[in-house]
Amino acid sequence: MTTGPEDSQARRTGGQLLAAARAVGSVPAVLLGLVVGLLAGWIAGLVVLVVVAVGWLLFVEVRRRGSLDRALASLGPSAPAGPGGRSHPRWENVVDGLSKGTGVDSPELRYVAVDTVNAAALADGTRTVLVATDGLADQLSQVELEAVAANLLGRVRDGSAELATLAVGLPGPSLGTSGPVVRLLVSGLGDQRDVRSDLEAARLTRYPPGVVRALQVVGERGSAVDGADPGSAPLWLAPAVDPERVHAAVAATVMQPIALRTAVLDEL
């Protein structure tokens, strides 16, 4: 669970995306109802309409509930933190401390076994999952880790992580690149989402220059993640896949160059 802006653009757009998904089933429900009504009577047609419509709503609800796990799978193989999984105590302690100050309750932590430096935030209103590469958890300093945690938790607070999770996970990462989903995603995240997330991280962290330093390490050591689906692009801190493989409108919104991001922060 999280606390934060209750009526953000991202949250409103998430509601619109879910409403649109539910409405899609109304067209075949009405058509089938009309056909059956003409052939077998209006009562039979009404029954068919209701059954198809309710069945579609149940299908969408099942997809919604599984959207976070589906989006998580699009990041590539990951393992949970803690007993039986990987452990990076410095990162885990930073997230634990900062999450309490930002109102994000008990985020689940997972790790991707790559040496590059990247992280992702996912949320669905009841769960929050932060995924970090081993390279990020091992190579960043304490101050830089705090900057990354602030960036990810800021995305959870403003609803952009939840919108991205829904847009990737509800239809699946492949269908998430379709025109209607992309338009809603881009509208909800707004222009230059990465830059704005960096600015929010600088506000949340105790040492704002750490955000610049963290991004510089990302740029120097790389952020590509083997196994990440191109559809997962909105979930990552930095580009995990080649921008050429990502829908152009999504790339323009969530894949700003590291040099641009650090230049904006240097102006503060």
User: 39-52, pLDDT tens digit by residue?
Assistant: 888 888 888 888 88
Check if the beta carbon of residue 153 is closer than 8 Å to that of residue 101.
no
State both tokens at 158: 């403003």
Confidence bin at 1 (pLDDT 50/70/90): very low
3-state SS assignment for residue 128 = strand
Tens digits of residue pLDDT in 205-250: 878 899 999 999 999 999 999 999 999 999 999 999 999 999 999 9
What is the mean predicted confidence (pLDDT) over 147-170?
A: 95
Q: List residues bridging with 104 in a β-sheet.
A: 2
Domains of the chain in start order, with CATH, are: 67-266 (3.30.2010.10)
Contact 137, 158 (CB under 8 A): no
Which residues are CB-neighbours of 148 under 8 A, at least 6 positions away? Answer: 119, 132, 136, 140, 201, 214, 237
pTM, full prediction: 0.89
Distance, in Å, from the CA atom of 45 to the CA atom of 34, rounded to the nearest integer, reads: 6
Residue 173 CB partners (closer than 8 Å, separation 6+):
70, 71, 74, 229, 230, 231, 232
Mean model confidence pLDDT for the chain: 89
Residues sharing a CB contact under 8 Å with residue 199, sequence separation 6 or more, in sequence order: 264, 265, 268
pLDDT exceeds cutoff 50 at 22:
yes
Most confident of 4-18, 42-56, 126-140: 126-140
**Tokens matching residue 86:** 């990987």
Q: What is the pLDDT of residue 53?
A: 85
- For 172-196, write each residue's pLDDT tens digit: 876 656 688 899 999 999 999 999 9
